[in-house]
């Protein structure tokens, strides 16, 4: 086994099964490819690379008697085109891969409306080989369900990465635009392979310097690298940039000079980068400047920027992550209170970007109440791939399970079945712009993500952004097979490990609806005792509210009534602790320690049992991993072992710290299932 972690899921090791190998070699011995473009070159290179690796053949590109035909639909021989099923169903980024028989000869046709569609199709075709699929049965008609599939890099210009655990930023601003690092190309290739089509290069806590002419040249160099891979670049826009650059004295969005400043800036950028994607904006949030500084609203700010980029088909991704210590309202309610009244008021090229939950990327949160509440506004999902609150790079946590849970939640806002996924992909919105963002976990680490298994989260984000209905299980299995091995003795236990890993982290960090009880500032490790912070809503005690009477945040009508922001079906169910799912219990209710749970046990007992279970789940992960040595690269095996040791140590720290802390209020004994802790 010699996987190279740098190559991510694009491992092209030779197929060992000789029968399979021989049949593949026969089926794709001769490739028709007739594209004269940078994307065409990328496609050709990928075919060459994968066939050389997986099949040990140099593909022939002899256009006379091909058995693998890669062509856009408009150039495809009409007799072949006729045989393709359902091509009308694909959109501009979609593709068809189909095995057909013509005059007794078998052929595989890969076709799309655009070259970008072909590129996605080619990666999927290669994946079929990586997954050892039977090519003679292929009929794949696929298109992305979401338009803007975007990574958000929280990367600073000094190359530090906010909440980044995989080294420094891969963008070497100092050496750009002259030095084009191979990583930029490999990054684009990896993203294209999972359908990601945009990247915001800079931190949401933004620096206006990136909008200066010098940086635009650097940005242009990256955009040129990414373009053949179908990836657009975006920047974060600091709202006060007109002032910080020294040009103006105000950044008031209704001021004519300010409007013109942004229009000129947009023109300047688009002159250099005609396919620039647009801006992501964090405004009036956690101290960032914004329209509120001038008594203006989020709509005023977003629409002003939207106008500036509209002539170039640019978009504005305006974040709804807003909360203010000046407001007495429960932090979980504030974004809804502030944004819902603006439904239908944003310009057509604005996406409101909403985090999956109302607090902040916790191991588990109920879905954000804004989903479903703004049918006349396109809402973009923001997931966090980097593990800010989930153990940084040292914990193995398979996030697609978390993402899947959110996307499958029913908002009921347009009747039963109004899932978050359907709101995000536009099925339930009266607007047609759609998007999903993932806060990247990528850095200069040799394997990109620090923890080898962080790669699965990048991969999984891409798959769900393409199709939010993809199951976490499919993602886990595909990733394991592509990265390591198709052997069922590896894939079956390891996919179980991945799929269970998310619940494990919830159990040992924040079971039963607890949230935001991490250590202050860095958010790594337990900190339920955190109470002296610059803002009350940055403490832990604000969220768990533990005292001698009980624990949990009452968000029903007797408390903050955040529940009121959800549809009546959810309100009915969650207003009573007896019908609230255990996983959200302490999110919505403050309950006495001896509250009788569905299990018949006390709340205190269940809290302790969940913490203990989380620890045991990590022990199980270790046991499974021990059996996988022969399927993985020795270095990856060793390193993952050491990381799992850290994870177990930290899971125990979480259990011990939280139980000892909460016990001073519960004043109840630790049940026998908990080992002696100090």
- Helix (H) / strand (E) element for 438: namely strand 435-439
Secondary structure (3-state) at 301: helix
Residue 534: count of CB within 10 angstroms of its CB: 8
User: Do residues 341 and 321 lie in contact, with contact meaning Cβ atoms separated by under 8 Å?
Assistant: no
What's the CA gap between 505 and 509, in Å, rounded? 6
What's the CA gap between 403 and 390, in Å, rounded? 14
What's the CA gap between 192 and 574, in Å, rounded? 41
Query: Which 226-285 residues touch ligand GCU, going by CB under 6 A?
Result: 282
Least CB distance from residue 209 to ligand GCU, whole Å? 18
Residue 75: count of CB within 10 angstroms of its CB: 10
Question: Between 439 and 659, whose beta carbon lies closer to ligand GCU?
Answer: 439
- Out of 13, 48, 286, 307, the active site residue is 286
- The size of the chain, in residues, is 678
Query: Which 144-173 residues touch ligand GCU, going by CB under 6 A?
Result: 162-163
- Helix (H) / strand (E) element for 236: namely strand 232-236
User: Do residues 266 and 274 lie in contact, with contact meaning Cβ atoms separated by under 8 Å?
Assistant: no
Question: Between 388 and 404, whose beta carbon lies closer to ligand GCU?
Answer: 388
Least CB distance from residue 518 to ligand GCU, whole Å? 10
| 326 in catalytic set | no
| 105 in catalytic set | no
Q: Which of 360, 409, 478, 606 binds ligand GCU (CB under 6 A)?
A: 360
Residue whose structure tokens are 């009244």: 341
Q: Which of 321, 453, 466, 490 binds ligand GCU (CB under 6 A)?
A: 321
Question: Between 387 and 452, whose beta carbon lies closer to ligand GCU?
Answer: 387
DSSP 599: T
Q: Which burial class, exposed, middle or buried, applies to 181 when counting CB atoms under 10 A from its CB (0-12, 13-18, 19+)? A: middle
Query: Which 383-402 residues touch ligand GCU, going by CB under 6 A?
Result: 388
Q: Which of 72, 205, 444, 467 binds ligand GCU (CB under 6 A)?
A: 205
Question: Between 246 and 287, whose beta carbon lies closer to ligand GCU?
Answer: 287
Secondary structure (3-state) at 39: helix
Question: Between 162 and 329, whose beta carbon lies closer to ligand GCU?
Answer: 162
The count of residues interacting with ligand GCU (CB under 6 A) is 9
Question: Between 538 and 637, whose beta carbon lies closer to ligand GCU?
Answer: 538
Structure tokens at 583: 């996983």
Least CB distance from residue 200 to ligand GCU, whole Å? 12
What does the buried/exposed string (b/e) look like for 85-119 if buried means 16 or more CB atoms within 10 Å of the residue's CB? eebeebeebbbbbbbbeeeeeebbbbbbbbbbbbb
Secondary structure (3-state) at 89: helix
What's the CA gap between 273 and 587, in Å, rounded? 46
CA 476 centroid distance within chain = 15
Question: Between 53 and 369, whose beta carbon lies closer to ligand GCU?
Answer: 369
| 286 in catalytic set | yes
**Nearest position to ligand GCU, beta carbon:** 204
Residue whose structure tokens are 């059996």: 627
What string of DSSP letters covers 641-676?
A: HHHHHHHHHHHHHHHHHHHHHHHHHH--PPPTTSPP
- Out of 7, 388, 478, 554, the active site residue is 388
- Out of 7, 360, 409, 606, the active site residue is 360
Question: Between 300 and 360, whose beta carbon lies closer to ligand GCU?
Answer: 360
Taking each helix axis from N to C end, the angle separating 213-226 and 256-272, rounded to the nearest 10 degrees, works out to 40
Give me the phi and psi of 591, to 5 degrees please: -130, 150
Least CB distance from residue 355 to ligand GCU, whole Å? 7
Least CB distance from residue 186 to ligand GCU, whole Å? 27
User: Omega before 136 cis (within 30°)?
Assistant: no
Q: Which burial class, exposed, middle or buried, applies to 558 when counting CB atoms under 10 A from its CB (0-12, 13-18, 19+)? A: exposed
Least CB distance from residue 406 to ligand GCU, whole Å? 16
> Distances from the Cα of 422 to the Cαs of 94, 121, 163, 412, in angstroms?
19, 24, 30, 11
Least CB distance from residue 444 to ligand GCU, whole Å? 20
Q: Which of 204, 399, 472, 648 binds ligand GCU (CB under 6 A)?
A: 204
Planar angle of CA 125, 459, 145, nearest 5 degrees:
70
Query: Which 278-297 residues touch ligand GCU, going by CB under 6 A?
Result: 282, 286
What's the CA gap between 380 and 148, in Å, rounded? 9
What's the CA gap between 328 and 326, in Å, rounded? 6
Enumerate the H helices of 317-379 as residue ranges.
Answer: 331-339
Question: Between 226 and 339, whose beta carbon lies closer to ligand GCU?
Answer: 339
Question: Between 90 and 514, whose beta carbon lies closer to ligand GCU?
Answer: 514
Least CB distance from residue 176 to ligand GCU, whole Å? 24
Least CB distance from residue 388 to ligand GCU, whole Å? 6
Least CB distance from residue 288 to ligand GCU, whole Å? 8
Least CB distance from residue 657 to ligand GCU, whole Å? 21
Question: Between 145 and 331, whose beta carbon lies closer to ligand GCU?
Answer: 331
List residues near ligand GCU by CB under 6 A. Answer: 162-163, 204-205, 282, 286, 321, 360, 388
- Residues taking part in catalysis: 286, 360, 388
């Amino acid at each position: 086994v010699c996987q190279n972690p740098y190559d991510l899921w694009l491992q092209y090791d030779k197929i060992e099964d000789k029968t399979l190998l021989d049949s593949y070699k026969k089926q794709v011995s001769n490739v028709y490819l007739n594209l004269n473009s940078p994307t065409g070159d990328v496609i050709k290179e990928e075919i060459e690379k994968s066939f050389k690796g997986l099949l040990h053949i140099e593909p022939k590109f002899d256009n006379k008697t091909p058995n693998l035909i890669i062509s856009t639909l408009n150039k495809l021989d009409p007799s072949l085109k006729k045989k393709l099923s359902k091509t009308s169903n694909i959109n501009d980024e979609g593709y068809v891969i189909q095995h057909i028989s013509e005059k007794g000869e078998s052929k595989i046709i890969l076709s799309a409306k655009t070259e970008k569609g072909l590129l996605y199709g080619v990666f999927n075709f290669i994946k079929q080989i990586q997954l050892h699929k039977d090519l003679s049965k292929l009929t794949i008609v696929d298109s992305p369900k979401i338009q803007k599939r975007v990574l958000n890099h929280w990367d600073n210009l000094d190359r530090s990465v906010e909440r980044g655990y995989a080294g420094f930023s891969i963008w070497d601003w100092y050496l750009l635009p002259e030095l084009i690092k191979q990583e930029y190309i490999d990054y684009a290739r990896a993203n294209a392979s999972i359908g990601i089509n945009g990247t915001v290069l800079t931190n949401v806590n933004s620096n206006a310097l990136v909008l200066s002419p010098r940086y635009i040249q650097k940005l242009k160099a990256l955009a040129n690298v990414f373009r053949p891979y179908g990836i657009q670049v975006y920047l974060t826009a600091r709202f006060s940039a007109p002032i910080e650059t020294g040009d103006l004295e105000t950044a008031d969005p209704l001021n004519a000079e300010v409007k013109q400043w942004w229009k000129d800036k947009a023109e300047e950028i688009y002159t250099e980068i005609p396919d620039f994607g647009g801006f992501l904006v964090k405004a009036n949030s956690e101290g960032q400047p914004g329209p509120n500084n001038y008594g203006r609203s989020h709509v005023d700010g977003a629409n002003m920027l939207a106008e500036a980029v509209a002539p170039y088909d640019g978009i504005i991704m305006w974040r709804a992550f807003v909360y203010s210590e000046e407001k007495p309202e429960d932090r979980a309610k504030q974004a809804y209170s502030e944004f819902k009244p603006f439904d239908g008021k944003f310009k057509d090229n604005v996406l409101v970007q909403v985090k999956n939950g109302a607090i902040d990327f916790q191991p588990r949160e109920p879905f954000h109440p804004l989903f479903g509440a703004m049918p006349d506004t396109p809402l973009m999902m923001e997931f966090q791939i980097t593990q800010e609150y989930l153990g940084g790079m040292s914990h193995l946590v398979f996030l697609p399970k978390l993402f899947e849970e959110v996307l499958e939640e029913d908002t009921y806002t347009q009747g039963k079945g109004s899932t978050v996924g359907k709101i995000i992909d536009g099925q339930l919105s009266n607007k047609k712009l759609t998007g999903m963002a993932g806060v990247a976990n990528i850095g200069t680490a040799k394997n990109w993500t620090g923890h080898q298994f962080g790669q699965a989260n990048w991969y999984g984000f891409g798959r769900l952004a393409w199709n939010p209905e993809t199951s976490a299980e499919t993602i886990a299995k595909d990733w394991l097979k592509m990265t390591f091995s198709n052997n069922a003795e590896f894939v079956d236990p390891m996919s179980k490990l991945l799929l269970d890993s998310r619940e494990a982290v919830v159990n040992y960090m924040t079971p039963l609806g607890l949230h935001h009880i991490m250590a202050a500032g860095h958010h790594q490790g337990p900190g339920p005792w955190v109470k002296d912070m610059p803002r009350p809503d940055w403490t832990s005690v604000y969220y768990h509210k533990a005292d001698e009477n009980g624990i949990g945040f009452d968000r029903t009508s007797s408390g903050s009534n955040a529940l009121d922001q959800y549809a009546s079906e959810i309100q009915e169910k969650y207003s009573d602790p007896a019908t609230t799912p255990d996983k959200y219990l302490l999110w919505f209710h403050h309950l006495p320690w001896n509250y009788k749970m569905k299990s018949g046990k006390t709340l205190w007992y269940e809290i302790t049992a969940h913490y203990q279970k989380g620890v045991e789940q990590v022990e199980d992960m270790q046991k499974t991993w021990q059996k996988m040595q022969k399927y993985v690269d020795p270095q990856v095996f060793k390193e993952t072992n050491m990381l799992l040791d850290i994870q177990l140590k930290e899971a125990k720290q979480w259990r011990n710290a939280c139980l000892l802390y909460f016990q001073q209020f519960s004043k109840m004994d630790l049940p026998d299932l908990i080992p002696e802790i100090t």
